A = this chain, B = another copy of it.
Amino acid sequence: MDGIRVARAALSRLFEPLDPIGTALVSILGPVDALRVATGRAAAAGAEAVLADPGMGGGALAAALERWRPRVAQLAPERDLETIARFGGRLVIPEDDEWPDGLDDLGAEAPLCLWVRGEDRLPAMKRTVAIVGSRDATGYGLSVAGELAKGLADRGLTVVSGGAYGIDGQAHRAALASSSHALPTVAVMAGGVDRYYPSGHEDLLREVARRGLMASEMPPGASPTRHRFLKRNRLIAALSSLTVVVEARWRSGALSTARRAAEIGRHVAAVPGSVYSANSVGCHRLLREGALCVTDEKEAFELLSASGEGLVEEPEVPAAAHDGLSLVDFMVLEALPKRRGAEVESLASVAGLSEAEVRAGLGRLQLLGLCTRSEWGWRRVADA
């Protein structure tokens, strides 16, 4: 098992996502022998006949070996596994119990492994919803994304998204502001989970890793290239039983996530908006292509409950002092440290809110006895 884990760790650095020859090698030989062949330590044996097939392009394996060679010398899978452990994470492989059921629906396009950062287990597909959309979201889109994500997380679901600016970030942020005790959110990254990309989301992603999960098919240190972004979208779709596109332009990565979700039989929904908003054009396009129309978290939740895959039961969430807070106030509360304190500027950065919003939120929270000001700045009151 450790041999398999180490082999998959190495292969995930050797191959780009969905390398066709690499994928074929693993499916024919298994990860351990595939690694030996891919690194030139063994002949391709049984695989050679398949890979020499004209359908794969004659000499495809030879070309692939050429392509992989520069990376062979850099392979140090044990060190990568140590790195991920140092970041509080682990490598999850298809041979593990934790391997999410949804990924197998990708068939030959399933990832070799998932580098995961965070304490919780990866969630079962039936408990997850992807919320995705434009980077340059409007206030409308951010507001809807926030309410959807918080509302679904409050119902015990896990919000999956891509960690980007705009809708993605708002979805993670609002899920973290939920009062649920379940895993709030998973950020599926295009590069390694030790990297905070985009850099403006460093605080947010750090919090996602602390209270949710970061996941990637790429090993620590890998940079988020355009190619990896495009391939990453299939993982968001496959990990979730429903993908909701909140805002999307006519051409948008969120549409590719939605289409991948539809291809593997997942629910796909789009949020309607003004016909004059360029940021809703992609959503309306999806609605015309058959996506479901979702306008609030209740409707999204009902889609999951009605699906044949397994009823999601509304969990009993114990009442908390902060029940009934607005989304903004929740986000301020969640950003507040429990010890020492933080200033408005830093809270705004952590919460992803304007300083004015943070100040207003602090005022309301203080009235409710949920926060207080110490000599180090603002902090949360115990039990709040």
Contacts and interface: CB of A to CB of B under 8 A. Distances in A.
Contact of A272 (B140, B144, B273, B299): B273
Interface in A267-311: 271-276, 280-281, 283-284, 287-288, 292-293, 295-296, 299
A71 to B, nearest CB: 47
A284 B274 contact: no
Contacts of A293: 272, 284, 287-288, 293
What is the interface residue range for chain A against chain B? 10 to 19
Nearest to A272: B272
A292 B284 contact: no
Contacts of A274: 140, 272-274
Identical copies in the complex: 2
Contacts of A299: 288
B287 A272 contact: yes
Contact of A275 (B144, B284, B288): B144
A262 to B, nearest CB: 16
A296 B275 contact: yes
Among A144, A276, A283, A287, find the residue whose CB has the most chain B CB atoms closer than 10 A.
Answer: A287
Nearest to A286: B293
Contacts of A295: 275, 281, 284
Interface in A127-167: 140, 144
A282 to B, nearest CB: 12
A260 B26 CA distance: 57
A143 to B, nearest CB: 8
A133 to B, nearest CB: 14
Contacts of A296: 275
Contacts of A140: 274, 276
A275 to B, nearest CB: 4
A118 B132 CA distance: 53
A284 B287 CA distance: 11
A311 B273 CA distance: 30
Contacts of A292: 288
Nearest to A295: B275
Among A140, A271, A272, A292, find the residue whose CB has the most chain B CB atoms closer than 10 A.
Answer: A272
Contacts of A271: 275
A170 to B, nearest CB: 15
A215 to B, nearest CB: 30
Contacts of A288: 292-293, 299
Nearest to A140: B274
A177 to B, nearest CB: 20
Nearest to A275: B295
Nearest to A269: B288
A353 to B, nearest CB: 20
Interface in A210-235: none
Nearest to A293: B287
A361 to B, nearest CB: 21
Contacts of A280: 272
Given A272-B272, A272-B274, 10 more contacts: A144-B275, A271-B275, A272-B275, A272-B284, A272-B293, A273-B275, A275-B295, A275-B296, A284-B293, A287-B287
26 contacts: A140-B274, A140-B276, A144-B275, A272-B272, A272-B273, A272-B274, A272-B275, A272-B280, A272-B283, A272-B284, A272-B287, A272-B293, A273-B273, A273-B274, A273-B275, A274-B274, A275-B295, A281-B295, A284-B293, A284-B295, A287-B287, A287-B293, A288-B292, A288-B293, A288-B299, A293-B293
